[in-house]
C-alpha cells in the first residue's frame, strides 16, 4: 500500500496537467508508474509517442529508456556493449549445444554399459570395458565444463553447500 501512496504523490508532481491526456489515451497503471519513475527526457519522449496515437505499453517504455541510454554512449561504449551481448549470446548457444552433445554421448555410454554381458569371454568384455573407459575419459572434461569439477569421486563423501 505505501508504494501506491508514493506513486500518487509523485504523480501529482511529475505528471501534473496530464491527467485527462493519460485517461483519454487509456494509459495503463504500469505505464503511468513507469513514467513517474523515469527521467524527464524519457518521460517527454514517451508522452510524445502516446500523443501520436500509437499503442504504448511497458515494453515500449523500456525501449525508449534503452534508446535514451544508448544515445548517451560513445561509439566505443556502444560497440563494446554490443560485442559483449553478442559474446554472451554465442556462449549461451554454445553451452546449449555442448549440453545436448554431452547428453547424447552420455546416453550412448550408458547403453554400452547396459549392453555388457553378465558372463562372457574375458577378451570381448575387456575390449568393451576399454572402449567404455575411453568414452568415459573423453566425456569427463565435458561434464566438468558443464557441471564443474567440484563433485565427489567414488567413495568420497558428498559436500554440502550452504
Contacts of 95 (CB under 8 A, 6+ apart): 146
Whether 79 is in a domain gets the answer: no
Whether 115 is in a domain gets the answer: yes
DSSP 160: P
Whether 138 is in a domain gets the answer: yes
Please write the tens of the pLDDT for every residue from 35-78.
999 999 999 999 999 999 889 999 999 999 999 999 999 999 99
Give φ, ψ of 121 to 5 degrees.
-70, 145
Per-residue pLDDT, 134? 94
Q: What is the pTM of this model?
A: 0.53
Number of domains, the chain: 2
61 and 22, same domain (yes or no) = yes
Residue 139 buriedness (CB in 10 A; 0-12 / 13-18 / 19+): middle
Neighbours of 31 (CB within 10 A): 20
Please write the tens of the pLDDT for every residue from 138-152.
999 898 888 887 777
96 and 137, same domain (yes or no) = yes
Whether 80 is in a domain gets the answer: no
Instruction: Name the residue range of residue 65's domain.
Output: 2-71
Amino acid at each position: 500500500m505505501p508504494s501506491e501512496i508514493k506513486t500518487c504523490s509523485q504523480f501529482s508532481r511529475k505528471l501534473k496537467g496530464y491527467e485527462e491526456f493519460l485517461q483519454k489515451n487509456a494509459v495503463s497503471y504500469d505505464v503511468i508508474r513507469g513514467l513517474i519513475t523515469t527521467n524527464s527526457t524519457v518521460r517527454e519522449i514517451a508522452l510524445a509517442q502516446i500523443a501520436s496515437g500509437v499503442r504504448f505499453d511497458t515494453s515500449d517504455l523500456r525501449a525508449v529508456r534503452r534508446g535514451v541510454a544508448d544515445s548517451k554512449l560513445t561509439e566505443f561504449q556502444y560497440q563494446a556493449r554490443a560485442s559483449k551481448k553478442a559474446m554472451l549470446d554465442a556462449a549461451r548457444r554454445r553451452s546449449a549445444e555442448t549440453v545436448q552433445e554431452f547428453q547424447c554421448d552420455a546416453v550412448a555410454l550408458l547403453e554400452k554399459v547396459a549392453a555388457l554381458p553378465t558372463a562372457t569371454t574375458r577378451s570381448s568384455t575387456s575390449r568393451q570395458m576399454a572402449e567404455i573407459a575411453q568414452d568415459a575419459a573423453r566425456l569427463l572434461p565435458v561434464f566438468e565444463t558443464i557441471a564443474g569439477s567440484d563433485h565427489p569421486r567414488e567413495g568420497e563423501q558428498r559436500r554440502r553447500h550452504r
